[in-house]
Amino acid sequence: PWGPPVRAVVVKATQSRNTSDSLSGSSTEKYGWSNERFRPQERPTCNVCRVLGIVVVNWNTREELRSCLRSLENRPTAEETRVVVVDNASRDGSADLVRTEFPDVLLLAERANHGYARGNNLGLARVEDADAVLLLNPDTEVPPGTLD
């Protein structure tokens, strides 16, 4: 029922330049870990994806959502990209924005605010056959080429 596993980015922890704890001694010495930055170790490409699903859960972020969806207009090189916006009963006209300016985006206009987790689950149900899925916040702008 869950389908094939979704590809994920593997991250490798790297030690930052500043490992000292400003209050008392090194966090590495104190706790056995350091201030870490994560960087992708492997960059999967959408060239191997037949279908890429993108789910955006929105609540009253109309202008941010517009910028987010515009940034997705330079879509990755997957054969098919499905963008789903789950609008959690926004009162700022977000659902109308998606209907009028982004007709190729699947809009799930909910009558109640179901919250972030359930909103994602509603969107994921619409892209369940995708080879990879991106859960994207509406205040995120995706630079061109990021999802290639």
pLDDT in tens, 96-146: 999 999 999 999 999 999 999 999 999 999 999 999 999 999 999 988 878
Over the chain, what is the mean pLDDT? 77
Query: Could you tell me the maximum CA-CA distance found in the chain, to the nearest angstrom?
Result: 57
Looking at per-residue pLDDT, the higher value among 31 and 80 belongs to 80
Of 13-17, 32-36, 43-47, 138-142, the least confident: 13-17
Predicted confidence at residue 10, as pLDDT, reads 35
Tokens linked to 109: 């206009």
Band (47; pLDDT cuts 50, 70, 90): low
| Nearest one of 136, 144, 143 to 52, comparing CA atoms | 136
Q: Which helix (DSSP H) or strand (DSSP E) does residue 66 occupy?
A: helix 62-71
For residue 56, give every residue at least 6 positions away whose Cβ sits within 8 Å of its Cβ, in sequence order, or none. 65, 68, 69, 83, 84, 85, 86, 123, 136, 137, 138
What does pTM read for this prediction? 0.68
Q: What is the distance, to the nearest Å, from the Cα of residue 75 to the centroid of all Cα atoms in its chain?
A: 14
Predicted confidence at residue 30, as pLDDT, reads 44
